[in-house]
Structure 1
Amino acid sequence: MAENGEGASLGARIRGFGPVARKTLKQIGPVRLVVTALFLALGLLFAKYSWNIMLARDAERALYDVRALLASPHVETDPRIVMVTFNEETLRLTGRRSPLDRAMLARALTQLDQMKPKAIGIDILIDQPTPEDQQLIDAFRGMKTPTYLGLATNKTNSAFMTYEQEMFLRDFQKQTRPGNVHFTSIRLAADQDGVMRSWPDQPRELPPLMANSLTQGFPEYRDHQGSIRYRLPVNYERPVFDKLPVELIANPDLLEAFRGQIEGKYILIGGNIPDVDQFTTPASRMKDPATGRVGETTIGLEIHATLLAQMLDHFMFKAIPNWGLWLIAIGVVLLGALTAVGNMKIWKLSLLLIVQLAAVAVVPFVWQFNGVDTQGLPVFGWLIGWIFAYSAVGTAARGIGSEQRNFAASALGKYLPGDIAKDIMKNPERLQLHGEKRDIIAVFSDLEGFTKLSHQIEPEMVALLLNRYLDLLSETVLAHGGTLDKFVGDAIVAFWGAPISRPDDADRAVKCAIAMYEAGEKFRAEAPEGVPPIGVTRVGCHRGEAIVGNFGGEGRIQYTALGDSMNTAARLEGANKYLKTKTLVSDTVVEKSTLGYFRPMGRIAVSGRSTPMIIYEPVPDFSLEAVQQFTDTLRRFDDGDMTALAEFEQMAVTNPDDKALANLIKRLHEVGPGGYSALDK
């Protein structure tokens, strides 16, 4: 049963994902969705194919060269391979630069054959006649050691080998028969940037590469095109491969002296001449310890020796399969996208970015050090792909978040003033379920006779009028910085002082109360034709303590205020009907207000309060002198000066439309000095 329940729950979650996904896609919008998808696709292509993209390819090569150089093993001088070279000293002694002195080559071959090496490879093109050709042919004919003469063809190397030169070389080799001389390919091909990083391809129209020819036992290297494993010397005074000048090897007096260095070894013969057959390698990026120069090149003969050593070591870098590169590229893009939408604190995000960057930087080195071929590994492409994905998804997420915040701010803006709504958006913890005691100014408004009116007109008209009225008064509350608490039919409850309090909250509330009455009058005047007369809007305003916060449980919350201050504001609104006033505020509001246009309207006792309260009516049309005179007159009456009542009566004669004043005079007659009126509401 538990398993079934879990399965059902999982199925429900999966089914619920569809609407969420559709909602998210709708929020993204078609244009942003297309742009995001395009950038993700570009990021994926960079993460997979950066070795094939201009500029990015240069960065990838540079990063690989650093990895290859640092991972290169440091070795002692290789005891299996010896290079015999024509160098600058040889050229000086022979007076020949090109073609090389074949007589000296012939003498060296004869001497080498007597020293019994394993095999000899010659990286010299015999592509034109010289007077010493017969000496070299005779030497070749007498060779017992397997000897391999370099071959280049016009088809595979037209820039350096003409058809005629090729034909001369082939004919020359035929003349060495029945000797032990065979052709071998000496073709080396650098990358487009001129750096030798990989084994050259071996076209079938060419014989095997020199390393393949010399060993004759490693067929798997015939088509190998992985990276070259270069080696570095442990001590730069002892190179990886010994280089012996050809003039020393050609000297018969030194045959026994060099026998130990030649016997049983692979011998490679070629040029070691500056600016001739030179190649750039990954090591060219470092400073040469011998010369102190950066960018030192390597002779082609040493490249052949390196390939031969790698073959003899049976070493091949492990290739990463194409599907593996795709998986890594997809993973990198997904990682960037997930990082962008992760809602993390800045320190966690910073830590995650550092970890990811470290992984991108370290993993290729770990692989290279462990024999994985990282040439073709798009490390720079990973960074670019990650950035594309992070930027694209982050921009889309911020767009969605902005729309959601705008929607939330708009929703909050229907109940809260703009500045408070923005503060809550910045500080969502304000919406936590808790209450706090705050000093607030509560405002309660009511539209006289609307319930009776609603029975006299069509329901559609009731809805139209009520919505228009509530919109009008809600805008008034928000415009004055108030928080809308609730609608009770046609009544509106609002307050100031929470969730944010301001020094002028009392002034804002009073001005809003006056504006709500005026908005109500405008609503009455603009009522549609045929609608019975609409009553006046009455407003009550009181300041006191209340418990303010979100109430209603986790599922449905409402930001509201609870307490006697809310009830008192409602009682003051109701008192307007009996006192013939439009707006009433309590003495606690007047104490906090800086406005000077409040005229006292005596004392009243309302339901729910044990003591009478002094009430005031805001009269912004009165001058300060008139308000002061009215206040002084009422105070004199409370002190027992009955002439004050006569002065009020004279005011009423002068202002016959002031019904609130007439009602005050009537109540003063009833309660006497210092008395109060009891309102049963």
Structure 2
Amino acid sequence: MWLKLKRLLWKGRSVWITTPSVAGLIVILRWAGLLQSWEWAAFDQYMRWRPQNGPDNRIVLVGINETDLHNLDESIISDAVLARLLKKLKAMQPRAIGLDIYRDLPVEPGHQELVRVFASTPNLIGIQKVVGDIGRETVAPSPVLKAKGQVGGNDLLIDGDNKVRRGFIYVADRDRANVFSFSFLLALHYLDAEGIAPKTIEGTKNWQLGKTVFAPFEANDGGYVRADARGYQLLIDYRGSSTYFETVSMTDILQNRVASNWGRDRIILIGMVGESFKDLYFTPYSSGLLTLSEPMAGLEIHANITSQIISAALKARPLFKSWSEPVEWLWIMFWSSIGATLSWKLRYTGGVEFLSFHKSASLFLAGGALLGSTYAAFLWGWWLPVVPPFLALGGSIAVITAYIARSAGSIRKTFGRYLTNEVVANLLESPEGLKMGGERRKITMLTSDLRGFTTTSEQLPAEEVVKILNFYLESVADAIAQYQGTIDEFMGDGILVLFGAPTAREDDAKRAVACAVAMQLVMAKVNERMKQWGLPPLEMGIGINTGEVVVGNIGSEKRTKYGVVGSQVNLTYRIESYTVGGQIFISESTLKEAGLSIVKINDQKSVLTKGVQQLITIYDVKGIGGEYNLFLPQEEEDVLLPLPEAMPIQYRILEGKHIVDTLFKGSLVKLSAKEAEIHADNVAEPCIPSPLGNIKLNLLIPSDRTEVSEDIYAKVLAKPAGDKSFFIHFTSKTLVVEAQLNYLYQSVAASNK
């Protein structure tokens, strides 16, 4: 169980590392306030998108503009005009009248008349400015209205982007006494007629008004970060854009142009709406994506707040709420995980395309789900984080995509160890590079194999074998890449290399021969390391053939291998099987393609190989001239020394990888460091193996011919020997046998000096 969990965690490490990392970064950015303006913009856009409510006929406005003053031939409304206006509105029997005009000082004429109206109108609410801010000092209320408790603060909260999104229920003045807001007092007058009054909820800051519980705005509610949360605030739920409420001019009222019952049972708000009065503010409705900013009069903002409070109390219209910060962090992490998981799960969808249709559709659906869920929540009064989860979603997608791209780069780099950059580009970037199927093409194939490595590996721990193979393959792979060969396959210690696929060149055969020589030269470095590790040297045989094969992507859509098939591939392996350590055999077709003038030959042999009906000629290469100028080192002649006493052996013939059951007897009569002469027993028909074939032999103890040594493998040489004799080249010896034969050879060599 633990192993499965561990494996699952490892496979998904990119997701569970990316998710909290991206989410944590977004939370930090949000805490620093860097996302606040974006969150405000999202809030405003959602407010503009939602369907508008029907008109609120409970509230009407009397707007005073520049035309009204012009009609009065006054630069400022006098107390007499204001008293006359209030009398006319009072006669309409409204539930409340809100006077959003400062009257802390007399404006003659008519001040005493206005005082009498103030004193005789119990449902009239005046204003005072409680909180001083930049450019606006506090303004005292009318003393008459203040004495009667009919004054509310008309302060508005302006956010950093100059928009009004919050209003007061109450706020403390300089004496730390709470002053109810202008809008709240008007709403209470209206609700009093409905028998509704506010009730405190014991043990909390909340209170209930009719069907709704009011909770104070906190400093980090919604998209706000450490906002000024003084007093008791609420987020304003605007009913609509500017001019939403029914509005008439002061002139219309004074000249009796409206019905006498126009204001019955309504709240009538009176205030300045002209641009010159500097009582205009920007709100979420002030601008859209394609429209210019349009401010809203402060009178209308107070009307919206009043309407919001009344609707909440009577119809349970939801107030804006938000989650606690820990829950919002989880929300951000959730969308971070969505982005990371989708990107990771769909990383292979659509093949090698960066953004397939499925990937794009899935990611757009995720973004749409986030937008849709937060918008639906907004309609129900919940202000959920929008920008942070979008950034978390996009950030996780970007991180996982970058990780996948980096992994693809690592794959490209890994391919680059065995292929040229051009080959990698052809496979990964061209439209044809990854198509299934193949084409018939003439190419040159090189295959190599270590002699005796299997025997050596059986005597070593697996870790040591892997270490040897990795060093060997890395060394020869560098040489292959240098000559632009395509490594088609690693087969244990064997390699198949293509020249002419996927990209064909005129000098494919030349580069193949040069590559083979370079690979043999690299073996000196490999064996130097083997010596340091206290291991016997390695020997490699190489075969090269040029012929027509089918080359391309072989397999299925789920698992594909770029490779070659055809009889010429098999022939290449056959040619290589005839080599001994350090040799390079090439076919006649390769020699012709490479050029007789630059390929230097030691010897040539005619062989009849399996699968071919006639003799073929193979050539033993010693080097290549021209621009390559690479040659194998001239080894000292391996002198065979006669043994003072023949060493009895037994041997079997190998047919491919199969060992023939028939056991033959013989003896070693001559020995060198790498070769030996074997004399078959004097029988009627002694068995002489075919030249270039392979045998397995064992040394017999002279005193007891039933006891045999460990296995020795050798290749029969194609050089003439005496009657009933043949020469062999050792291809594999165990460490014990090698020490035994070396000791015997050194002893014979010393005695012949």
TM-score in terms of structure 2 length:
0.59
Q: Which aligned pairs between 1:239-278 and structure 2 lie closer than 5 A?
A: 240-245=245-250, 249=253, 258-273=259-274, 274-278=276-280
Q: Report the alpha carbon displacement of residue 40 of structure 1 after superposing the two structures with TM.
A: 3.5
Query: Cα deviation per residue 1:619-666 (whole Å; 9 max; x = unaligned)?
Result: 66899xxxxxxxxxxxxxxxxxxxxxxxxxxxxxxxxxxxxxxxxxxx
Cα distance in 2 between the residues matched to 1:581 and 1:158:
92
Letter in 1 for 2:504: R
Q: Check 1:111–1:576 CA distance in 2 against 1; reply closer, same or farther (3 A cut).
A: closer
Identity of aligned pairs, percent? 21
Aligned twin of 1:190: 157
Cα distance in 1 between the residues matched to 2:503 and 2:442:
9
Q: Per the alignment, in what secondary structure is the counterpart of residue 235 of structure 2?
A: coil
The correspondence for 1:57, drawn from 5, 29, 36, is 36
Aligned twin of 1:213: 188
Q: Report the alpha carbon displacement of residue 207 of structure 1 after superposing the two structures with TM.
A: 3.4
Q: Report the alpha carbon displacement of residue 117 of structure 1 after superposing the two structures with TM.
A: 2.8
Kept after mapping to 1: 8 A contact 2:63/2:247: no
Cα distance in 2 between the residues matched to 1:320 and 1:90:
41
1:43 aligns with 2:21: no
Kept after mapping to 2: 8 A contact 1:121/1:210: no
Cα distance in 1 between the residues matched to 2:426 and 2:271:
80
Kept after mapping to 2: 8 A contact 1:152/1:161: no
1:510 aligns with 2:516: no
Aligned twin of 1:332: 335
Q: Report the alpha carbon displacement of residue 187 of structure 1 after superposing the two structures with TM.
A: 1.8
Aligned twin of 2:380: 372
Q: Check 1:18–1:298 CA distance in 2 against 1; reply closer, same or farther (3 A cut).
A: same
Aligned twin of 1:178: none
Aligned twin of 2:94: 117
Letter in 1 for 2:170: Q
Q: Which aligned pairs between 1:437-516 and structure 2 lie closer than 5 A?
A: 441-443=444-446, 475-480=478-483, 481=485, 483=487, 494-497=496-499, 500=502, 502-503=504-505, 504-516=507-519
Q: Report the alpha carbon displacement of residue 185 of structure 1 after superposing the two structures with TM.
A: 1.1
The correspondence for 1:354, drawn from 344, 354, 364, is 364
Q: Report the alpha carbon displacement of residue 147 of structure 1 after superposing the two structures with TM.
A: 2.0
Kept after mapping to 1: 8 A contact 2:115/2:144: no
Q: Per the alignment, in what secondary structure is the counterpart of residue 109 of structure 1?
A: helix
Letter in 1 for 2:33: I
Q: Report the alpha carbon displacement of residue 41 of structure 1 after superposing the two structures with TM.
A: 1.6
Q: Report the alpha carbon displacement of residue 435 of structure 1 after superposing the two structures with TM.
A: 10
Q: Report the alpha carbon displacement of residue 156 of structure 1 after superposing the two structures with TM.
A: 6.8
Cα distance in 2 between the residues matched to 1:453 and 1:134:
119
Q: What value does the CA root-mean-square deviation take over the aligned residues?
A: 5.5
Kept after mapping to 2: 8 A contact 1:552/1:558: yes
Aligned twin of 1:6: none
Cα distance in 2 between the residues matched to 1:114 and 1:555:
86
1:385 aligns with 2:392: yes
Kept after mapping to 2: 8 A contact 1:483/1:494: yes
Cα distance in 1 between the residues matched to 2:529 and 2:136:
98
Cα distance in 1 between the residues matched to 2:5 and 2:578:
55
Kept after mapping to 1: 8 A contact 2:584/2:622: no
Cα distance in 1 between the residues matched to 2:284 and 2:546:
81
Cα distance in 1 between the residues matched to 2:467 and 2:96:
105
Aligned twin of 1:409: 415
Letter in 1 for 2:334: G
Cα distance in 2 between the residues matched to 1:339 and 1:596:
61
Cα distance in 1 between the residues matched to 2:137 and 2:10:
66
Letter in 1 for 2:158: D
Q: Per the alignment, in what secondary structure is the counterpart of residue 262 of structure 1?
A: coil
Q: Report the alpha carbon displacement of residue 102 of structure 1 after superposing the two structures with TM.
A: 1.8
Q: Report the alpha carbon displacement of residue 611 of structure 1 after superposing the two structures with TM.
A: 1.8
Q: Report the alpha carbon displacement of residue 140 of structure 1 after superposing the two structures with TM.
A: 3.6
Aligned twin of 1:300: 298
Q: Per the alignment, in what secondary structure is the counterpart of residue 156 of structure 2?
A: coil
Kept after mapping to 2: 8 A contact 1:195/1:281: yes
Letter in 1 for 2:296: T
Q: Check 1:200–1:587 CA distance in 2 against 1; reply closer, same or farther (3 A cut).
A: same
Structure 1: gaps (5+ residues)? 1-11, 175-180, 624-677
Query: Cα deviation per residue 1:585-638 (whole Å; 9 max; x = unaligned)?
Result: 332323433453468967623353442223445566899xxxxxxxxxxxxxxx
Cα distance in 2 between the residues matched to 1:426 and 1:392:
23
1:21 aligns with 2:27: no
Q: Report the alpha carbon displacement of residue 127 of structure 1 after superposing the two structures with TM.
A: 0.9
Kept after mapping to 2: 8 A contact 1:80/1:265: yes
Letter in 1 for 2:614: T
Q: Check 1:606–1:390 CA distance in 2 against 1; reply closer, same or farther (3 A cut).
A: same
Q: Report the alpha carbon displacement of residue 322 of structure 1 after superposing the two structures with TM.
A: 0.5
Cα distance in 2 between the residues matched to 1:460 and 1:87:
92
The correspondence for 2:83, drawn from 106, 125, 128, is 106
Cα distance in 2 between the residues matched to 1:426 and 1:353:
24
Kept after mapping to 2: 8 A contact 1:148/1:214: no
Q: Report the alpha carbon displacement of residue 306 of structure 1 after superposing the two structures with TM.
A: 3.1
Cα distance in 1 between the residues matched to 2:609 and 2:388:
77
Kept after mapping to 1: 8 A contact 2:539/2:582: no
1:152 aligns with 2:156: no
Q: Check 1:386–1:39 CA distance in 2 against 1; reply closer, same or farther (3 A cut).
A: same
Letter in 2 for 1:281: T
Structure 2: gaps (5+ residues)? 173-177, 199-207, 215-231, 351-355, 627-689, 694-753
Query: Cα deviation per residue 1:538-575 (whole Å; 9 max; x = unaligned)?
Result: 65433456788999999999988787656655665676
Cα distance in 1 between the residues matched to 2:443 and 2:457:
33
TM-score in terms of structure 1 length:
0.65
1:137 aligns with 2:112: no
Kept after mapping to 1: 8 A contact 2:281/2:297: yes
Letter in 2 for 1:387: G
Q: Per the alignment, in what secondary structure is the counterpart of residue 206 of structure 1?
A: strand
Q: Check 1:680–1:610 CA distance in 2 against 1; reply closer, same or farther (3 A cut).
A: farther
Cα distance in 2 between the residues matched to 1:418 and 1:286:
52
Kept after mapping to 2: 8 A contact 1:43/1:384: yes
Aligned twin of 2:652: none
Greater relative CO, 1 or 2 (CA 8 Å, sep 6+)? 1
